[in-house]
Amino acid sequence: MNWLFFALAGSIAQLIDGTLGMGFGLTSSTLLLTLGTSAAVASAAVHAAEIGTTFASGVSHWHRENVDYEILKKLAIPGGIGAFAGATFLSSIDLSGGKIFISTILLLLGFVLLYRNVFQANIRANITEISNPRYLTFLGATGGFIDASGGGGWGPVVTPTLMATTEHEPRKIIGTVSASEFIVAVCASIGFLANLSRIDMDWSAVGGLALGGMLMAPFAAKLVSVVPRRPLGIAIAVAIILINGYRLITA
């Protein structure tokens, strides 16, 4: 398939991510599957492209002192392990089963995105601190596995969970989750590369997605203060739900 289609998918996904603060993997995976890409190739391309974007995002948040290093370590390490496991799992299932699995994950994440944008004003902290030391480990591992096996989901799963269950500053949560996503993207990519013989990798998807995302990034940053965030988030979530719901029904 022409790499220009993948570049367009990357541009659209980055535009949404730059406006919502999340959704690059969720949106680009849905678009790639709609273009006919296999589940494993879609997730592999997304995470390879995210290595550059998440690194830049993490450095930016670090420069602005938005990163909590204790939470970063507890999230990133199990997140990376979960991402590697998710990539290995997705690479090992057959083509038809992979598309059904990833569409199911994307459908559920669409509902998560919809819930967050509809009810985000009602999110309140439930606890003052994380008393269970295994909490972040479990959250990181779960988020990493879902992110790699579903083609996206680290932000939609981890960010609202931390916001709803801690009293940490929102900027610290967003910055820490964004910085830790670099480790998740690297480990997921390593997982897919380790299983490269099992998947028919289309490098034009990787290059096109990365190119489109990088070119759109500065424009998305400028539009973040102009485009209405909640209506866009609801519209994108509904589109993701409808597309992946239809894919599951027809499967």
Domain tally for the chain?
1
Tell me which DSSP letter residue 197 carries. Answer: G
Measured distance CA(227)–CA(235) in Å, rounded: 13
pLDDT value of residue 184: 94
- Would the pTM of this model clear 0.85, i.e. be above it? no
pLDDT digits (tens, 9 = 90+) for 137-183: 999 999 999 888 888 878 778 877 787 677 677 778 878 888 898 99
Residue 236 — left, alpha, or beta (φ > 0 → left; ψ -120 to 50 → alpha)? alpha
Assess contact for 27 and 240: CB atoms under 8 A.
Answer: yes
Give, rounded to a whole angstrom, the gap between the first and last alpha carbons of the chain.
22
**pLDDT tens per residue across span 42-90:** 888 888 888 877 787 778 778 778 888 888 988 999 999 999 999 998 8
Per-residue confidence (pLDDT) for residue 13, from 0 to 100: 82
Domain with 111, as residue range(s), is 3-250
Query: What confidence category does residue 127 fall into, taking pLDDT thresholds of 50, 70 and 90?
Result: very low
